[in-house]
Chain A
């Protein structure tokens, strides 16, 4: 009999607000995303100087995960290889691509920045999350016009049902100029955890995504 999967936690960041499991945890009334991310970082209390080198997409994915995993002992209860990271968005790394493009545009003022180029791939978010939490399990990054609960459900279920991972961080991380938003889910098998927020199924995923 297949063990069922549950969403044990979720974290969403948008409109300068961070909401964890339905509760508003942090809000900032001022500033663009960069400023908001800095404040979020300070509020988290962590010391991780490399955060400041990240581009906006990585900062968003990184901080959302930081709060998602806080106090949950995920990396204690599971080995690094047992945790998967499955993300998607619609703009890929376009936000940073623009910065890179600007720096190579003029032959006279030509100074491409290697540290900007490094972030012109959306899956580097997965890299940053995995480096931080020492996660070695399967990771994949999909591009879609909008968030697809069914798609995420199908992919993550296959991983969990086939024991390819025992726990999964999955969801949507999108930044494009001033438009940004993330919703990340922590999904585990029922046997491994005492409590959960909702059953892992497309309808629940969608409800959470829509903020209900």
Chain B
């Protein structure tokens, strides 16, 4: 399912205006919310909007949000589990 991860990285870069990054520089296993990407709470909200807008998936609680948005891979898993990729 490499395609989904690649697509997600591109969508994240667009949604969060990370213009100085390219998909190759995002490690899909690394935590998203650490200093490296400089993401904040507004970015977390944008990612939940992205999941809803592009994949029709809703995150119900902030606990669920923390798990799902942990890394690109955890986001991809969430999509696969709920959507058949």
Residues of A within 8 A of B16 (CB): 53, 115
Residues of B within 8 A of A118 (CB): 42
Which residues does chain A contribute within 8 Å of B49, judged by CB atoms?
Answer: 111-114
In the assembled complex, the Cα of A114 lies from the Cα of B38 at a distance in Å of: 17
**What's the Cα separation between A50 and B21 when bound, in Å?**
12
Q: Is the CB of A114 within 8 A of B45?
A: yes
Which listed residue (B17, B21, B53) contacts A53, Cβ 8 A?
A: B17
Please report the C-alpha to C-alpha distance between residue A112 and residue B42 in the assembled complex, in whole angstroms: 12
Q: Which of A49, A111, A113, A114 contacts B18 (CB 8 A)?
A: A49
Q: Are B43 and A115 in contact (CB under 8 A)?
A: yes
- Encoded as 1 (CB less than 8 Å from any A CB) or 0, chain B from 30 to 64 comes to 00000000100011011001001100000000000
Chain A positions 102 through 137: 1 when the CB is less than 8 Å from some CB of chain B, otherwise 0: 000000000111110010000000000000000000
A52 to B16 alpha-carbon distance, docked (Å): 9
Please name all residues of chain A whose beta carbon is closer than 8 Å to the beta carbon of B19 when the two chains form the complex. Answer: 38, 49, 52
Kindly report which residue of chain A lies nearest to residue B20, judged by CB atoms: A49
Smallest Cβ-Cβ distance to B54: which chain A residue? A111
Report the minimum CB–CB distance from A129 to chain B (whole Å). Answer: 18
Query: Which A residues touch B38, using CB under 8 A?
Result: 49-50
Task: Compute how far the CA of A118 lies from the CA of B20 in the bound complex, rounded to whole angstroms.
Answer: 21
Give the bracket for the number of chain B residues in contact with chain A: 10 to 19
Complex alpha-carbon distance, A50 and B17, angstroms: 8
Could you tell me which residues of chain A, from 7 to 24, have a CB within 8 Å of some CB in chain B? none
A115 & B18 in contact (Cβ 8 Å cutoff): no
Task: Give the complex CA separation of A41 and B45 in angstroms.
Answer: 26
Q: Closest residue of chain B to A53, judged by CB?
A: B17
Give Cα A49 to B16, complex, Å: 11
- Residues in B with CB closer than 8 Å to A111 are 49, 52-53
Q: Which of B17, B43, B46, B53 contacts A52 (CB 8 A)?
A: B17
B42 x A52 contact (CB < 8 A): no
Write the chain B residue with the least CB distance to A111: B53
Between A and B, 24 residue pairs with Cβ closer than 8 Å are A38-B19, A49-B19, A49-B20, A49-B21, A49-B38, A50-B38, A52-B17, A52-B18, A52-B19, A52-B20, A53-B16, A53-B17, A111-B52, A113-B49, A114-B42, A114-B45, A114-B46, A114-B49, A115-B16, A115-B42, A115-B43, A115-B45, A115-B46, A118-B42
Closest CB pairs A-B (n = 10): A114-B45, A52-B17, A52-B19, A53-B17, A111-B53, A49-B20, A115-B42, A115-B46, A114-B42, A111-B49
Q: Which residues of A contact B (CB under 8 A)?
A: 38, 47, 49-50, 52-53, 111-115, 118
Query: Beyond the given A49-B20, A111-B49, A115-B42, could you list 4 further A-B residue pairs with CB under 8 A, ordered by the A residue number?
Result: A38-B19, A50-B38, A112-B49, A114-B45
